Amino acid sequence: MKTLKVLSEDKGQTLILRFIGSIDEDAALNKVKVETGKKVVMDVGEVDSINSCGGREWVKWIKTIDSKINMNFINCGAVFLDYANMIDGFIPINGAIESFKVPYYCEACDHLTIRKFESRDVKTNGGEISSTIPCEKCNKDAEVDVIVPHFLKFLNKTKKSRVEDV
């Protein structure tokens, strides 16, 4: 496991936080400060694992952030979405998952292709994603490698008006 690293980039009215590594009991989330008055974009695309202690620490940290701050989560991978779907408060009520990544597995060449989706597009499409896509390695059919209704459960948790705002 990689120790969690959080890179912070101030873009005026927006604070971008990029999380890299593992969210576990050693993740020093309490050292990550979020300023009031800014929109926050949390890029969790490089979170490679989360354990139960890390999930608990994440929720505790999220609760310390002012509830008036809009938080958009981008590049959410399967590891992150598993926790977002399972734990209330993992994504706060003032937060929205803007984009997420879906794994597709190709049996023909044993390759995993990751496809990024925008939440608003999937919601517009009735909560549907492609069950197969061309494998990026051999171009044969790669099949979605998650249980889709469970994986997309977060779409129903996100307030409709909030998703449209992102």
Contact between residue 128 and residue 89 where contact means Cβ atoms under 8 Å apart = no
Give the global pTM: 0.90
Contact between residue 106 and residue 140 where contact means Cβ atoms under 8 Å apart = yes
Contact between residue 57 and residue 19 where contact means Cβ atoms under 8 Å apart = no
Is it the case that residue 166 has pLDDT exceeding 50? no
The pLDDT of 31-48, averaged and rounded, is: 92
**CA 49 to CA 135: how far, in whole Å?**
25
Is it the case that residue 72 has pLDDT exceeding 70? yes
| Residue 151 banded pLDDT, cuts 50, 70, 90 | very high
Contact between residue 91 and residue 119 where contact means Cβ atoms under 8 Å apart = no
Is it the case that residue 160 has pLDDT exceeding 80? no
- Pairing between β-strand 141-144 and β-strand 111-118 as defined by DSSP bridges: unpaired
Share of residues in the chain with pLDDT > 70 (%): 94
Order across the sheet with 95-97: list the strands.
5-11, 14-23, 39-50, 71-74, 95-97
pLDDT tens string 93-139:
999 999 999 999 999 999 999 999 999 999 998 889 999 999 999 99
Is it the case that residue 65 has pLDDT exceeding 80? yes
Is it the case that residue 164 has pLDDT exceeding 80? no
